[in-house]
Amino acid sequence: MPDTPPPAQRDDRPEEARRARLSRTFDEDAELYDRARPGYPPELYDDLAELAGVGPGSRVLEVGCGTGQATVPLAGRGCRITAVEAGARMAAVARRNLAGYPAADVVTARFEDWPLPREPYDAVVSATAFHWIDPAVRMAKAADALRPGGALAVVRTQHVHGGTEEFFVEVQRCYERFDPATTPGLRLPAAVDIVGSDHAEEVARSGRFGPTVFRRHERDLTYTTSEYLEVLRTYSGHRALPDEARAGLLGCVAGLIDGRYGGRITKRYLIELAVSRRR
């Protein structure tokens, strides 16, 4: 009987030994992060309204808001938001982006250390950030922040097979050359092979929430060479490389896009929303 193949590798499982260090790299260039990182599709916010009850007047605690990629749309939908962001530079940019929304407040603090207010929230939302929070703390503290029946909504983003497919096969040679941690012959997983059971199991182990409900969206974004390099410069693994290796990697990627793909490639993202209600 053949062995069961291992689950597809996720982008959002930082090694625990490096989690804290890698999480700090985002704050090094908050303006680049704000400029380069894509937001989320409108369908995600419709899902949040349907599954988590997030809408006008909702009290929302956002964990790890970055520069406001999800915060601004939530504020635009009438939510009253407290956004907690560990990076001082990221938080400053988020405040600038939210200047037109007086019901949105950005707090500079690690979620693990931040004292919860007395009044509970209707929803705790974390967009592409929950995996950076200490796993010994995140689930229990999220539950403590919520009213009974309130929703924990975690958004995870994964790079999957699709878009300019041949480019993502060829570019692995650049990574194998300049990043020794690269698995030889690595290929992007299909969206259908990405499982969310790890999160659902963590929620269940906490004993604080009901069943987890998932919604997924695939999204193709097209980048010029310079735009794609900016995105890569915001990734923690790229930022953590030695300067010479990072420069070599980015040069190799740029040469491939310009030389073989006409200066433009398309990347496919899987955006996964997981919603769990507090018991």
* pLDDT one-digit tens code per residue, 145-175: 999 999 999 999 999 999 999 999 999 999 9
Range with the poorest average pLDDT among 1-5, 92-96, 110-114, 166-170: 1-5
Encode pLDDT of 180-227 as tens digits.
989 999 999 999 999 999 999 999 999 999 999 999 999 999 999 999
Identify whether the C-beta of residue 175 lies closer than 8 Å to the C-beta of residue 182: yes
Per DSSP, 62 falls in state E
Report the relative pairing of strands 104-108 and 121-127 from DSSP bridges: unpaired
> For the chain, how big is the Rg over CA atoms in Å?
19
Q: How many CB atoms lie within 10 A of CB 119?
A: 7
Strand 104-108 and strand 59-63: the pairing is unpaired
The pLDDT of 8-29, averaged and rounded, is 67
> Crossing angle, helix 243-260 and helix 225-233, to 10 degrees?
150
- Do residues 25 and 234 touch, judged by C-beta distance below 8 A? no
Burial of 117 (0-12, 13-18, 19+ CB in 10 A): exposed
The token pair at 165 is 């497919």
* First-to-last C-alpha distance (Å) of the chain: 41
CA–CA separation, 234 vs 246, rounded Å? 12
| Alpha-carbon torsion (172, 262, 164, 238), positive or negative | positive
**Structure token pair of residue 59:** 């009290």
CA distance 89 to 83: 14
Predicted confidence at residue 25, as pLDDT, reads: 78
What is the band of 9 on the pLDDT scale with cuts at 50, 70, 90? low
User: Pairing between strand 80-85 and 104-108?
Assistant: parallel
Which residue is associated with the tokens 């707090």?
107
Specify the pLDDT at position 24.
Answer: 74
User: What does the block give as tokens for 277?
Assistant: 């209600």
CB 85 within 8 A of CB 145: no
